[in-house]
Structure 1
Amino acid sequence: MLIKDKTNSSVGFIKVVSMAMKTTHRAVCCQCKKTKGTLICDECSKDFCPKHMIEHVDDLCEQLNKTDDQFNQFKLQIEEQLVKPETHELMKEIDNWERESIEKIQKMANDIRQELSSCLISFIDDLNAKFRHLTEQFIQCRTEENIINSNIQFFNEELNLLKNNLHKPPFFKILYKSRIFIKRIRLTKNSKLFLKVKS
């Protein structure tokens, strides 16, 4: 704390600044224009009567107390950052970048899913029709007891082809472009890492 006692500020503080005040006989108070017993403040070079000098000192004390409060508030901010560095504004920037990047990825993934879903429905419907036709041929072959090695090989090959096409459709696939659509993020550090404090 810079100011331990903020009560009776004009009384306590006037002792500190009294040496900076000079009595003048012809000066006029800058507040009430009186000339009797005026004092000049060496800091601001203004003339004051005794009453307004006290008010001036009170004002200086108030300003000093406000500055003291700002020092204390900043001290608390530093202590908080030391304990919780994740609350720093730069951390929030990273959080925002992460959220925006995830949103972009999710949107692109959903768009591709919808497009793929439409293609798959049409493709699998056609594949199912071919499978039903092959099944009918297979049933007919068994019914007629036309079981020969070439027929068995044919059905196995056709069935495997349909299986492969189901898992790896020959007409469409997923491509990955190398172009970056998400901004890269990195930390740059200045060689002058510390503030110079005036001695």
Structure 2
Amino acid sequence: MCDKGRGMCICDGCKAYFCTRHFNEHRQQLSMQFDRDVVKIHDDLLEQIHSVKQPNIVSDDLCAQIDDWETSTIVKIKKAAQLARHQVIQLFSQETQSLTENLGTVADEIRTVLKEDSFAEDDIERLQLNLNQLRKSLDQQSQTENVKLIIDNRIDWNRLIYAEKQKGKEKKSSAIEICFPLSSILFNEKGHFYFRMSIAL
């Protein structure tokens, strides 16, 4: 900086007066400072942005979590379906077992009255009624309407798993949270299966 009387140029930034030689030196210093404090910081920041533009490591980790969730969910659904199949078979087996036992009771009574030769018209009518009832039960058993499947379709598949930015947490890098609202597949006291969900809004 030169004396105001000797200075021919004034810097619009620092308001100092310079002679021509010192003004040129001042401009060179400003140019170096600009490169160091502005251009270099800009270039470094741009390089950092480009380095995280495609965060393969982070995205691969999140995708791996999604794959694990997909696998475990499929396993749970398959288990629920297998249990439902077992329940259907068990229900029909129970009906068949019950019919077999009832028919065995009627058969014992038939053998008894035949052996003792002690039957009359009312015995024939009663045994015939029992057999007709068993036949009706057998016909009903063969109909699928006799067993009802309870299926809960109240699932928002778009919200079952999703990614969102974490809020209220300071991270060195941008963080994405994977939410797994589906906690488990449960079965009630009647053996019906259903999903227990906790939807994060």
TM over 0.5: no
- The structure where strand makes up a greater share of residues is 2
